[in-house]
Amino acid sequence: MLTRVAKEFDFHAAHVLPNHDGQCSRLHGHTYRLRVIVEGGVRPIDTAPDEGMVIDFAVLKRIYKEKVEPFVEHQNLNDTLVAPGHVLVSTCENMVEWIYNQFRDAIEYEGVATLAEVRLWETPTSWAEVRS
């Protein structure tokens, strides 16, 4: 049996979509919400620190803090994601793919569970997601 667990994060960032034909062609900001869903078997009760868990929520928080947050929190995404070539344009769709890859690679390295889904809200009503 697989169990799914999720952790959510919020961050604030600015970006510009230079070729957009609307307001997004000017520098503007968003409060983004990120949801990461991991699935796997629940570890047995065996006195290990992560007994009874699919993955320790602290592991997801550490991955976010190390691999994602420095590039997005209070950043101009065109400077931190586009300019170095992490994404071609700072759309929600491109960003969620990049974030998915950051978590997938770290979770595979940890070897504890499987990344199932990453969803990124650009606004409270607009989001993009990647599923495995």
| Catalytic-labelled residue, pool 24, 39, 69, 129 | 24
Q: Which two tokens stand for residue 59?
A: 């592991």
Q: What share of the chain is helix, strand, coil (3-state, %, to 5)?
A: 35, 35, 35
92 annotated active-site = no
The model carries a pTM of: 0.94
Whole-number percent of the chain with pLDDT over 70: 100
* Strands in the chain per DSSP E: 3-15, 28-40, 75-76, 114-123, 126-131
**pLDDT at residue 18 is higher than 90:** yes
74 annotated active-site = yes
Contact yes or no for 92/20 (Cβ under 8 A): no
pLDDT at position 111, please?
75
